[in-house]
Amino acid sequence: MKETAINSIRYLFEPGSIAVIGASKDPAKIGHSIVRNILAGGYRGKVYPVNKSGGEILGLRVYGDISEISGTVDAASIAIPAKFAVEAVRSCAKKGVKHAQIITSGFSETGNIGEEKEILSIAREANMRILGPNIFGLYSSSSSLNATFSASKIVPGRVAILTQSGALGVAMIGKTAINNIGLSAIVSLGNKADLDESDLLEYLIGHEETRVVLMYIEGVKNGERLLETLRRTTEKKPVVVIKSGRSKRGAMAAASHTGSLAGSDAIFDAVMKQCGVLRAENITEAFNWCKFLAFSPKPGAGRAVIVTNGGGIGVMATDACEKYGIDLFDDQAELKRIFEPATPSFGSTKNPIDITGGATSADYRLALTAPSESAGLASTIALYCETATFDSENLAPMIQETYKKHMAAGKPITYAIVGGESVEKAIEILKKDNIPVHGDVYEAVSSLASIYRHKKYLDEKDTRIDEAELDIKLIDKIIEGAINEKRNFLLSNEGSRVMEAMGIGVPKSRTARTMDEAVKYAMEIGYPVVLKIVSRDILHKSDAGGIALNLDRDGEVAEAFEAIMHNARSYKPDAKIDGIEVCEMVRPGVEIIIGARRDPSFGPVVMCGLGGIYVEIMKDITFRELPVNRDIALAMLKEIRSYALLLGARGGAKKDIEGVVDTLIRVGTAITRCSRITDIEINPITVYDQGKGIRAVDARVMISNMKGEKQ
């Protein structure tokens, strides 16, 4: 089944023949540009212009209708007004076209959903796939096919771009050319009526020419499939993503622009990281990373070294390494051994290595050859400030030579060279060789960091799944009860019972109907206790005087029972009172939050963070797509700043981290297995000292009557 899908998608990138429906003699028309670009691009398959006016275009016979073509037609590019598009799709289906690219706009993006649906249903019936509508087309280096209407010349190379924005896509083609970023493919996704990022990634995973994939995304429809596909892709090659709509206002603007649900940016960010995808903030950053990733080897074990002729930019690069997470080599004695021959006495062999402003190209050659030959050093950050003493005609050759040595040794190197004309000239020359030279220190370091992040992901990748044993039958029964009462949430005591069924510790508690019962239960639970009114008619218990804290004697419990009953009756005389809950008084501990929800794009996700009143304020939380395992759960804890509290900040004892990990696994299992749970939020969970466990103090569970697909 999957094999067929890949075969099928191959026809999109490598069709043996392509029809251009709406081919035009008028050079100003899109239908003309496409034919012209296909021919100019050197496409080796057959090209069939189709237009009912017939005749010839650029020396090719124009067919009045696709049905008139005698051979098979693998792909069709449709560039006719929207009102004729449905008919064209129908004729393509009839002809047995495998892939129709619908350039035409004016469908769902302008509210015309009906015709888009019709197109899709025609295609489905004929087993034909649709790219678009509302796209600029597609370029594929493997078949030298430039079926775009925008760019007459595309340089083939190693980077594949998938873009949801047409305008930005066209602009990016131009920008890749200027930046000497060769393309293996660029595909405009448009409205994604049928084919989406996942379908195209299936082809790119095995596409040898593609070394890096760059995606521009505005909204995700089938997120779970995308993540699954991305996981397989990043295993083979790095993927960089730009997603606009990071900010609140940006997300609103994105929603109004694409009509797509932007979703939570924090979750997008987390799941992309989880799939090993590198998220860039802007185009410049994304291009820098892609260029670097396309040509640099993965670093081996070992750390990075900075070589500079200026102390100031050395310090800057050190700052940038910390920002982007590059570890610097630290063994002073080893550094001295390696770099002393290249460093004058008033320089420094500490990392950054400062070969001083007097350094010439020969000094640089020496200093930058050393790391390529030294086992402990895995990568190099080379910095150069233009100086009056440097033999600038040798700048580019020195970089070419030291770059080659690094490549031969399988070590990445990134250069930042700062200065005027001579530097600018060197950058021009070196860019043509795809050598990573940057005019800015931060850019250079950020590029190197991209390959480290991909390596780290692959090194640490761990697909093992941990699940917990839950009493699913009991959970289902509790949910059933709430659904029968037409509720989409569980009451507080139901929430506690679900926690127990999930094997998560809750404060001991029993609901007393009489004063005597309350005293009896309090003794059983152990003092001190808390009393709380139980009534679905009283939501704000405190306002109703329905809570009494810190009761530590029988007499206090009896008094409090009477008082709460009295308060509740005066607060809301007609309230149905189920009783009074007698609870264990929770001792203080570290308060965290653990939750899970079904993300509309990406499916079930789990989260944890600093709990209590700090959740919204500190936003010290982290997400993961499910399933996870214990190591990933622990990694989540290590990501939040408040992890220090669990380790025992300010001299406190280490907390029960194992208990928190266990709870994360249980919550993850619950939302995965119980398809009617839409949301679990336990806040706070009080965490005690190591071995002393946790208490889920307050658990909110949201439910839905709809059975999810998974069970």
Residues of this chain, 87-106, that bind its own copies according to CB under 8 A: 106
Report the residue from 1, 650, 707, 709 that binds its own copies according to the rule CB under 8 A: 650
216 vs 339, which CB is nearer to its own copies? 216
Site string for its own copies, 206-245 (x = CB under 8 A): ----------x-x-------------------------xx
Report the residue from 22, 299, 314, 611 that binds its own copies according to the rule CB under 8 A: 314
Question: Residues 500, 504, 509, 510: what is their CA dihedral angle, to the nearest 10 degrees?
Answer: 0
The distance of closest approach from Cβ of residue 190 to its own copies in the complex, given in angstroms and rounded to an integer, is: 12
Site string for its own copies, 347-386 (x = CB under 8 A): -x-x-x-x--x---------------------------xx
Q: Which of 152, 128, 116 is nearest to 15 (CA)?
A: 128
Q: Is 310 in the site for its own copies (CB under 8 A)?
A: yes
Instruction: Name residues contacting its own copies, limited to 382-441 (CB under 8 A).
Output: 385-388, 418-424, 439-441
Question: Residues 303, 308, 311, 317: what is their CA dihedral angle, to the nearest 10 degrees?
Answer: -50
Stretch touching its own copies by CB under 8 A, among 40-48, 250-258, 455-463, 703-711: 250-258
Q: Is 328 in the site for its own copies (CB under 8 A)?
A: yes
The distance of closest approach from Cβ of residue 338 to its own copies in the complex, given in angstroms and rounded to an integer, is: 18
Q: Is 617 in the site for its own copies (CB under 8 A)?
A: yes
Instruction: Name residues contacting its own copies, limited to 41-70 (CB under 8 A).
Output: none
Q: Is 258 in the site for its own copies (CB under 8 A)?
A: yes
Q: Is 616 in the site for its own copies (CB under 8 A)?
A: yes
Stretch touching its own copies by CB under 8 A, among 122-130, 318-326, 558-566, 670-678: 318-326
Kindly list the distances between the CA atom of residue 368 and the CA atoms of 338, 365, 412, 561, in Å, as whole numbers in the listed order: 11, 5, 12, 80
Kindly list the distances between the CA atom of residue 700 and the CA atoms of 264, 469, 563, 588, 607, in Å, as whole numbers in the listed order: 20, 21, 27, 21, 14
286 vs 482, which CB is nearer to its own copies? 286
Stretch touching its own copies by CB under 8 A, among 48-56, 119-127, 163-171, 447-455: 163-171
353 vs 674, which CB is nearer to its own copies? 353
3-state secondary structure of 324: helix
How far apart are alpha carbons 343 and 340 in whole angstroms? 5
User: Which amino acid appears at position 566 of this protein?
Assistant: H
Instruction: Name residues contacting its own copies, limited to 622-641 (CB under 8 A).
Output: 641
74 vs 354, which CB is nearer to its own copies? 354
Report the residue from 56, 68, 208, 281 that binds its own copies according to the rule CB under 8 A: 281
How far apart are alpha carbons 40 and 607 in whole angstroms? 52
125 vs 319, which CB is nearer to its own copies? 319
2 vs 249, which CB is nearer to its own copies? 249
Stretch touching its own copies by CB under 8 A, among 168-176, 463-471, 512-520, 659-667: 168-176
Torsion sign across C-alpha atoms 404, 409, 412, 414:
negative
C-beta neighbour count of 138 within 10 angstroms: 24
Report the residue from 4, 53, 70, 282 that binds its own copies according to the rule CB under 8 A: 282
Q: Which of 102, 90, 129 is nearest to 8 (CA)?
A: 129
Q: How many residues bind its own copies (CB under 8 A)?
A: 90
Question: Residues 80, 184, 460, 284: what is their CA dihedral angle, to the nearest 10 degrees?
Answer: -80
Torsion sign across C-alpha atoms 218, 222, 223, 228:
negative
Q: Directed axis angle between helix 657-673 and helix 630-639, to 10°?
A: 120
State both tokens at 244. Answer: 């606009």
- Using DSSP, how many helices (H) and how many strands (E) does the chain show? 24, 29
C-beta neighbour count of 114 within 10 angstroms: 11
How far apart are alpha carbons 632 and 625 in whole angstroms? 11
How far apart are alpha carbons 28 and 23 in whole angstroms? 11
Report the residue from 51, 101, 146, 165 that binds its own copies according to the rule CB under 8 A: 165
The distance of closest approach from Cβ of residue 83 to its own copies in the complex, given in angstroms and rounded to an integer, is: 15
For 235-250, b/e burial (b = at least 16 CB within 10 A) is eebbbbbbbbbbeeee
650 vs 707, which CB is nearer to its own copies? 650
Stretch touching its own copies by CB under 8 A, among 198-206, 291-299, 305-313, 463-471: 305-313
